[in-house]
């Protein structure tokens, strides 16, 4: 697995193609490439508040320990965040099951967050990422 950084336009286009959403407030982007150099996954960090950032993942089964370390380096290291949050549609059962398995904590329901559909919110704190071995401070 090869990680692609410093190419936010390419990664944003891939993630947009996967999710159907547009991302304009991208703080950091990380692409995940196959051995052949084809993009198979993407990570976007958006909506930076100074304390936290929103994580968007696209691509099935492409997040490895190396990718998690890189995500932690970007969010907790480079940006100095204390939390990473994920918000997804209530109907997105895949992410609603995946987030708790990745140790993200359920925070609540955001009513009508996606127009007519509710959003489900999860977060992972810096200390939790260290505790679960997702990130090691340099």
> What is the per-residue pLDDT across 48-62, written as a single tens digit (0 to 9) for each?
999 999 999 888 777
pLDDT at 107 (0 to 100)? 97
Q: Say yes or no to pLDDT of 135 above 80.
A: yes
Contact residues for 30 (Cβ-Cβ < 8 A; gap 6+)? 3, 4, 5, 11, 42, 43, 67, 70, 71, 74
Top pLDDT among 3 and 64 is at 3
Domain ranges of the chain: 2-131
Residue-level pLDDT at 113: 93
Give the helix, strand, coil percentages of the chain, each rounded to 5: 30, 40, 35
Nearest to 65, CA basis, from 132, 15, 125, 12: 132
Residue 69 predicted with pLDDT over 90: no
The CATH architecture annotation of domain 2-131 reads 3-Layer(aba) Sandwich (3.40)
Q: How far does CA 94 lie from the centroid of its chain?
A: 14
């Amino acid at each position: 697995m090869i990680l692609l950084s410093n190419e936010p336009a390419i990664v944003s286009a891939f993630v947009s193609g996967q999710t159907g959403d547009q991302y304009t407030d991208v703080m950091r982007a990380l692409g995940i490439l196959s051995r052949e150099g084809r993009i198979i996954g993407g990570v976007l960090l958006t909506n930076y508040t100074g304390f936290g950032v929103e994580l968007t993942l696209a691509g099935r089964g492409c997040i490895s320990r190396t990718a998690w370390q890189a995500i932690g380096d970007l969010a907790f290291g480079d940006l100095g965040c204390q939390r990473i949050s994920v918000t997804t549609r209530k109907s997105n059962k895949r992410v609603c099951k995946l987030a708790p398995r990745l140790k993200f904590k359920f925070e609540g329901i955001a009513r009508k967050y996606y127009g007519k559909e509710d959003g489900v919110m999860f977060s992972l704190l810096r200390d939790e990422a260290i505790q679960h071995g997702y990130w090691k401070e340099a």
